[in-house]
């Protein structure tokens, strides 16, 4: 499944003023690719994902999937939010079955699907638990399984691991790669974390704010399957430094002090 975004622009009008959230966004993702977008807070990453998912309208530009313009939201584009958004009134199993149920899949088939994905994300034995009875990492895996159970062509992930501790985060990243290799799905992954983006992706897009736009695309030509030890690799470290400098340069041009680590926001 190919995703092509040309000259995407998004303006949000409030009562008082209108904000250009996204401007001249270009993005191409090939079938089966795993690519990341890295950018500071507020640069429009969530907005971009929601527009691709069909949950927000665009102002200008085109979004094509396999050469066809997208219309409203559809089951072939799944999105997972940073806050998981599991339905608290449904058990793990029923949460995962939600998409198939909406599409009118019959009960035996639904059960087969949920069993498959519960197995895949390693949650066997937790089928009848409610979300509030699970840890953060487990909830994240349910959210992933729920998105995958709809058998989408592209998976849009919005900082899915941001709320997890370092170790759980690394496990989840490893599992995501495993799921991706197993399903062959196309993944667009949004994150703040440069290391995470490099570890997971074929390519990393850098985004800057005001207005939000994609400024760089960095190829990550490291062999797969990857393990966490590649993070110590000199090539990996160099790419990391390169991305960091791109983001800092953006800050320097805007005249903001660059000594304070990763910029929280590129204010103009």
Partner 1 sequence: MKQAAYKIALPLLFLALWYSISRFGHISPLILPDPESTVRALISLIQSGDLALNTYVSLKRSMGGFLLGSFLGVASGILIGWSHFWEDFFDLAINFVRAIPKTALAPLFIVWFGLGDSAKILLIAFSSYFFTVIPTIEGVKNVDSLYVKTARSMGANEFQIMTSVIMPAAMPAIFAGLRLTVTTALIVLVMVEIVAGNDGLGYLLQEARGNLDMAIMFATLFALGVLGYCLDAAMQYLGKKLMPWRKGKTLSM
Question: Where do contacts with partner 1 occur on this chain (CB under 8 A)?
Answer: 50, 53-55, 73-75, 77-79, 81, 83, 85, 87-91, 98-99, 101-103, 130, 132-133, 146-147, 150
Closer by beta carbon to ligand ATP, 10 or else 110? 10
**Which residue lies nearer to ligand ATP by CB, 44 or 250?**
44
Residues between 47 and 106 with contacts to ligand ATP, criterion CB under 6 A? 47
- Rounded distance, CA 222 to CA 220, Å? 6
3-state secondary structure 154-192: EEEEECCCCCCCHHHHHHHHHHHHHHHHHHCCEEEEEEC
Q: Give the nearer residue to ligand ATP in terms of CB position, either 100 or 263.
A: 263
CA dist., res. 80 & res. 75, Å (int): 13
Cα–Cα distance for residue pair 60/17, rounded to 1 Å: 18
Q: Residue 144 belongs to what H/E stretch?
A: helix 136-148
Residue with smaller CB distance to ligand ATP, 41 or 171: 41
Binding-site ranges for Mg ion (CB under 5 A) = 46
Q: Kindly state whether residue 45 participates in binding ligand ATP, applying the rule CB under 6 A.
A: yes
Contact 155, 122 (CB under 8 A): no
> Cβ 38 to ligand ATP, closest distance in Å?
10
Binding site residues, ligand ATP, CB under 6 A = 12, 14, 19, 21, 41-47
């Amino acid at each position: 499944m190919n995703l092509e975004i040309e000259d995407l622009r998004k303006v949000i009008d409030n009562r008082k003023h209108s904000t250009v959230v996204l401007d001249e966004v270009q993005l191409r993702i090939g079938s089966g690719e795993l690519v990341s977008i890295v950018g500071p807070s507020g640069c429009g990453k969530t907005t971009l994902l929601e527009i691709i998912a069909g949950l927000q309208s665009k102002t200008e530009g085109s979004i094509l999937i396999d050469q066809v313009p997208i219309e409203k939201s559809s089951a072939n584009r799944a999105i997972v939010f940073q806050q998981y958004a599991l339905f608290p009134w449904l058990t793990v199993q029923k949460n995962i079955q939600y998409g198939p149920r909406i599409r009118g899949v019959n009960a035996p088939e639904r059960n087969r699907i949920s069993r498959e994905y519960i197995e895949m994300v390693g949650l066997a034995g937790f089928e009848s638990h409610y979300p509030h009875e699970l840890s953060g990492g487990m909830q994240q895996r349910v959210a992933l399984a729920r998105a995958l159970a709809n058998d989408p062509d592209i998976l849009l992930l919005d900082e899915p691991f941001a709320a997890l501790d370092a170790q759980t985060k690394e496990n989840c990243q490893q599992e995501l790669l495993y799921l991706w290799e197993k399903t062959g799905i196309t993944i667009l992954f949004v994150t703040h974390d440069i290391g995470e983006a490099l570890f997971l992706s074929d390519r990393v897009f850098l985004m800057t704010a005001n207005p939000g736009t994609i400024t760089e695309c960095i190829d990550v030509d490291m062999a797969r399957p990857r393990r966490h030890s590649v993070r110590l690799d000199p090539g990996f470290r160099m790419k990391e430094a390169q991305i960091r400098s791109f983001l800092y340069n953006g800050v320097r041009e805007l005249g903001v002090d660059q000594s304070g680590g990763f910029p929280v926001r590129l204010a103009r």
